[in-house]
Amino acid sequence: MTENPRARETRPATAPAQGKVRATGTQVRPDSLSANGSQGAGAQTQVRPKTEGWTQQKDAEGRPLLQFASPKRGKPPVHLADLTPAERVEKVKELGLPGYRAKQLSTHYFTHYTSNPADMTDLPAGIRDDLVGGMLPSLLTEVRRLETDRGDTIKFLWRLHDGALVESVLMRYPGRITLCVSSQAGCGMNCPFCATGQAGLTRNMSTAEIIEQIVRANRLIAEGGLGGKKADDHSMERVSNIVFMGMGEPLANYKRVMDAVRVMVAAQPDGLGMSARGITVSTVGLVPAINKLADEGIPVTFALSLHAPDDHLRNELIPVNSRWKVDEALDAAYGYYAKTGRRVSIEYALIKDMNDHAWRADLLAEKLNARGRGWVHVNPIPLNPTPGSIWTSSDKDVQNEFVRRLNDAGIPTTLRDTRGKEIDGACGQLVATTEDEAAAAAIG
């Protein structure tokens, strides 16, 4: 193997993070790691910090613990947003009411963001309760609302019908309002640096439970509850962008998530009338589901949570890498671009002394450029702290160097702004705490 000039690059070992992560010398790209990340003959152990206090959870056969199937729990009640427009008409008829009432109800829900019979003055008072009871059952009970950034970031804690807790985070940015939604209560992917992953999967969320997060956020915005609006701005505002970056692995709940996307993009009053381009589906890399997504014909933005360009490290950071390797995930991401023409995002949480080495930036750039130009951009994000975690975010100069190397290699790369850390509302921090459980119990 020819010597890679960068392979010998070193930087000083840094002090142990919180005294728990021990840096074991210089950070070098192991000679045994070829450009495609596979271990060559005579592989030597990769030199990087040892982690203490965390061991990957394994199943009975010694494979990393992954939960794909949703544990059986009582299903949430069927809601208008779970149904197609034709099914809504059928259901209204089953309630003994004329089919056209479905459209009226959809208008209340998707354009006025209300499920309150008292608001529905165009419907005869005598049928409102039956219609709402049958079509708009209550799905999310608000347990808590936390605000930061002077009120333009809000985290909601919701209780589902069976007591499961989920969160969504609403953020105002210049020119857009983004809602980070949950797609599962908990998550089965078990990524060690993510608080949600550590808690395991409670269950899949229904389509309507996903949609209701948006409707409730829109209601709050319409009531003027989201800070940061300019005094002279009288526009009717609502959520413009959705990121599936709350709790859960969206592609492990494929059907309900895609049905929810269809409701988001359907024209009002049948749906929320949102632009597919403003919807980002983020995944750990479930390859068959990525391929399926590429065939849907809905131009959502696709994001792959890569976090390491080599299998050796990614096997640890993203346990599902034991099934679908870095190159397979990247091929699928490239396939998404090739099919849809939509530039894909690579997410990369920068973890101090873990995945932030210069040679890893170079290897990532190599792998992305090997597949083509202009198809991808990289979004590194400094790791957000999670309870009891042994890891911390990379130092500023290391972050900047990582970004610089990718940009120099022709890969558009921007360090992502992270919001909501103060309220544990940032990426990877969403988890129901004992405090949340107590608050949920207290509201009865």
Q: Is 190 labelled a binding residue?
A: no
Report the C-alpha gap between 244 and 345 in whole angstroms: 13
Of 76 and 285, nearer to ligand SAH (C-beta) is: 285
Of 198 and 218, nearer to ligand SAH (C-beta) is: 198
Residue type at position 310? D
Q: Which of 349, 376, 398, 431 binds ligand SAH (CB under 6 A)?
A: 349
Window contacting ligand SAH (CB under 6 A); options: 95-103, 241-249, 255-263, 288-296:
241-249
Window contacting ligand SAH (CB under 6 A); options: 7-15, 144-152, 242-250, 436-444:
242-250
Work out how close the CB of 47 gets to ligand SAH at its nearest, in angstroms, rounded to a whole number. 24
Q: Is 194 labelled a binding residue?
A: yes
Is there binding between residue 206 and ligand SAH (CB under 6 A)? no
Is there binding between residue 383 and ligand SAH (CB under 6 A)? yes
Window contacting ligand SAH (CB under 6 A); options: 106-114, 325-333, 376-384, 404-412:
376-384
- Note the residue count of the chain: 444
Edge-to-edge order in the sheet of strand 376-382: 141-148, 153-159, 165-173, 176-180, 241-244, 279-283, 301-305, 344-350, 376-382
- Burial class of residue 442 (count of CB atoms within 10 Å of its CB; 0-12, 13-18, 19+): exposed
Dihedral angle, C-alpha 197, 200, 203, 207, nearest 10 ° = 0
Binding mask 179-198 for ligand SAH (x = CB under 6 A): ----------x---xx----
Of 265 and 378, nearer to ligand SAH (C-beta) is: 378
Catalytic option among 147, 167, 316, 347: 167
3-state secondary structure of 211: helix
DSSP string, 90-117: HHHHHTTS-TTHHHHHHHHHHHS----G
Residue type at position 108? H
Answer yes or no: are the C-beta atoms of 95 and 134 closer than 8 Å.
yes
Residues 35-49 as b or e (16 or more Cβ within 10 Å = b): eebeeeeeeeeeebb
Q: Which of 212, 316, 347, 362 binds ligand SAH (CB under 6 A)?
A: 347
Of 23 and 349, nearer to ligand SAH (C-beta) is: 349
Q: Is 9 labelled a binding residue?
A: no
Q: Footprint of ligand SAH on this chain (CB under 6 A)?
A: 189, 193-194, 244-245, 249, 282-284, 305, 347, 349, 381, 383-384, 386, 427-428
The residues annotated with a catalytic role in the active site are 167, 427
